[in-house]
Amino acid sequence: MAAPEAWHSNLAHARDVLNAAITGKPYPVTAAITLASNPLLSFPNTKRVFEALKSLQLYVVMDYYLTPSAALADYVFPASSTVEQPELWLTGGFCMACPQGIEPLYERRNSYDFYRGLGTRLGQTEHWPWKTVEEVYDHCLKPVGLTFKELVKQFGIFGQREYRRYEQYGFGTPSGKVELRSSIFQDLGLEPLPVYREPLWSPLGSPDLAKKYPLILITGSRFMPMYHSEQRQIEKARKKIIKNYTQQINFV
């Protein structure tokens, strides 16, 4: 039986998958499903991504917008938005239930319905015992004696902060003490203390390569009003970012 949320956590290295789609090595990748993602914009080397998507025998997209990647798809399914589906938010400090606000418009569906529908049609019904995503959340919450609807009524589960809790329970280490030198890492044969290692492809790690490619890529930066590849299809957002860049260039 697949674990709840497993439809969200099956991952592979995108570059290797794209290369396999093009070369057929180490084995052929002939079909792909993209959910709320735009590979042509979110992955590096757009030409390579385009080649990989075009090489697929079947490409299926489920998204909110007809993105450039979706335009290459054989089938495009409409995705439900946050207000059209229940959601369970989990963080280190609390668990919060977000109830469904409205019924999905038109033919929009959430990702669980998409994958369960596909699984049942492939004869995997026994592995998808929960008919709705809310039933999945009920299963996840069963150990704490709550259902999704009950969690909605009490707004969420919030951890209670305790001052000097370590005096009663100790710390979460084998010794129960603060371990500046990790005994767990040491038992696993790893460095018990932080050790700096030069990155393989840095100027110091590969000086010959650095001569040929002197620029270093830094990722993770953000700029408003867009976030990664999101909001780029909104005309007003594109105009705003062009205006911001123009002001920066004039300032410089």
Q: What is the pLDDT of residues 90-143, one digit of tens each?
A: 776 778 888 999 999 999 999 999 999 999 999 999 999 999 999 999 998 898
CATH number at residue 13: 3.40.50.740
Q: How far is CA 160 from CA 46, 163, 169, in A?
A: 47, 10, 15
Say whether pLDDT at 11 is over 80: no
Same domain as 90, residue 51: no
| Residue among 76, 79, 67 nearest 40 (CA) | 67
Q: Find the distance separating the first CA and the last CA of the chain, reported in whole Å.
A: 59
Whether 125 contacts 134, CB under 8 Å: no
pTM: 0.67
Last residue of a domain, one of 19, 52, 79: 79
- Top pLDDT among 89 and 133 is at 133
Q: Residue 237: pLDDT band by 50, 70, 90 thresholds?
A: confident
For residues 151 and 97, the answer to whether their CB atoms sit within 8 Å is yes
Domain finish residue from 108, 138, 159: 159
Residue 123 lies in a domain: no
Residue 80's CB is within 10 A of a number of other CB atoms, namely 22
pLDDT of residue 192: 93
Query: Does one domain contain both 2 and 28?
Result: yes
Task: Please give the average per-residue pLDDT across 64-75, as a whole number.
Answer: 92
Domain containing residue 148: 83-118+128-159
Number of domains in the chain: 4
Per-residue pLDDT band for 74 (boundaries 50, 70, 90) equals very high
Sheet with 31-35, side-by-side order of all strands: 31-35, 58-63, 75-78
DSSP-derived pairing of the beta strands 31-35 and 58-63:
parallel
The residues facing 154 across adjacent strands are none
pLDDT in tens, 153-170: 887 777 677 788 888 888
